[in-house]
């Protein structure tokens, strides 16, 4: 069957929101006297809001009460919402719309698989909500990436087997989740960061239409991880 499941991460794959998460987390961390580098930030990509704050506190050797923890998560989200409130379709990453239009024209199954609880409002803001046959976000999962739950739910909603799905991811945790789900992992970003992915492209402008056609016809296969 010439039909595959295409599962897209949101932040850093469809829209350039990874930079806003970074700015909001860094501001919050700095307020606690903790700093972290761009390299350490790679570990925050793809993981849940709770897990991100836990990691930052680990780096700074700090512990908080449950109440403080909850209030800091809300504070970070408020800061982040300030950034995304101004978003529009101009923040869709290069060639993402072209790929989504192509998949639609080819009647492929397309899902979102994001850790973010803000996924739906962001897709609405950039007018991409109707491009997805299924949406799985941070409100639907109990386990954060690198757990494969988000992608397995996505495959199920698309009525596709995991081995017939490909995942586009900009995070190490997300690539690991796709691999554990036995899906073809396609890293979007830097080769040295995303080396566990089956295939890696700097962005969608680097990925040819022939490559997408080859996925659809089953000629792109999973490499052994």
The residues annotated as belonging to the active site are: 9, 11
Residue 115 annotated as part of some ligand binding site? yes
Residue number with CB closer to ligand BG6 (91 or 164): 91
Residue 9 annotated as part of some ligand binding site? yes
Residues that bind Mg ion (CB under 5 A): 9, 11-12, 170-171
Point out which residues pair with 142 in neighbouring strands: none
Residue number with CB closer to ligand BG6 (169 or 198): 169
> Any idea what DSSP says for residue 133?
S
193: CB partners within 8 A, 6+ apart: 42, 172, 187
Residue 115's closest CA among 84, 89, 81, 149?
149
Residues that bind ligand BG6 (CB under 6 A): 10-11, 21, 44-46, 48-49, 52, 77, 114-118, 138, 171
* Residue 179 binding target from ligand BG6, Mg ion, none, CB below 5 to 8 Å by type: none
Residue 129 annotated as part of some ligand binding site? no
d(CA 198, CA 187): 8
The total number of residues shown for the chain amounts to 225
Dihedral of alpha carbons 86, 90, 93, 96, sign: positive
Q: Nearest approach, Cβ of 3 to ligand BG6 (angstroms)?
A: 27
* Residue 189 binding target from Mg ion, ligand BG6, none, CB below 5 to 8 Å by type: none
CB-based burial of residue 210 (10 Å sphere; 0-12 exposed, 13-18 middle, 19+ buried)?
Answer: exposed
Comparing every residue's Cβ against Mg ion, the nearest one is: 12
Residue number with CB closer to Mg ion (5 or 12): 12
Residue 118 annotated as part of some ligand binding site? yes
Q: Nearest approach, Cβ of 152 to ligand BG6 (angstroms)?
A: 17
Residue number with CB closer to Mg ion (172 or 184): 172
| Cα 1 off chain centre by | 27
CA diameter of the chain = 55
Residue 55 annotated as part of some ligand binding site? no
* Residue 138 binding target from ligand BG6, Mg ion, none, CB below 5 to 8 Å by type: ligand BG6
Residue 151's closest CA among 124, 127, 181?
181
Q: How many CB atoms lie within 10 A of CB 146?
A: 18
Question: Binding site for substrate, residues?
Answer: 9-11, 25, 44-49, 52, 76, 114-118, 145
Question: Binding site for Mg(2+), residues?
Answer: 9, 11, 169-170
Question: Binding site, residues?
Answer: 9-11, 25, 44-49, 52, 76, 114-118, 145, 169-170
């Amino acid at each position: 069957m010439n039909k595959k499941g295409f599962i897209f991460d949101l932040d850093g794959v469809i829209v350039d929101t990874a930079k806003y998460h970074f700015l909001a987390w860094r501001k919050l961390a700095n307020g606690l006297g903790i700093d972290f580098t761009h390299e350490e930030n790679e570990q925050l990509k793809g993981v849940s809001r709770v897990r991100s704050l836990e990691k930052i506190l680990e780096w700074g050797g700090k512990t908080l009460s449950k109440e403080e923890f909850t209030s800091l998560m809300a504070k970070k989200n408020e800061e982040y919402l300030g950034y995304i409130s101004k978003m529009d379709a101009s923040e869709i990453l290069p060639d993402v719309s072209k790929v989504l239009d192509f998949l639609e024209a080819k009647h492929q199954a397309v899902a979102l698989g994001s850790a973010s609880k803000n996924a739906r409002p962001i897709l609405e803001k950039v007018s991409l909500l109707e491009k997805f046959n299924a949406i799985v976000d941070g409100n639907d999962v109990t386990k954060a990436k690198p757990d494969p739950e988000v992608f397995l739910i996505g495959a199920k909603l698309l009525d596709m087997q995991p081995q017939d799905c490909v995942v586009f991811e900009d995070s190490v945790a997300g690539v690991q989740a796709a691999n554990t789900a036995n899906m073809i992992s396609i890293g979007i970003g830097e080769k040295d960061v995303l080396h566990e992915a089956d295939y890696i492209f700097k962005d969608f402008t680097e990925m040819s239409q022939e490559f997408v056609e080859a996925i659809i016809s089953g000629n792109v296969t999973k490499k052994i991880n």
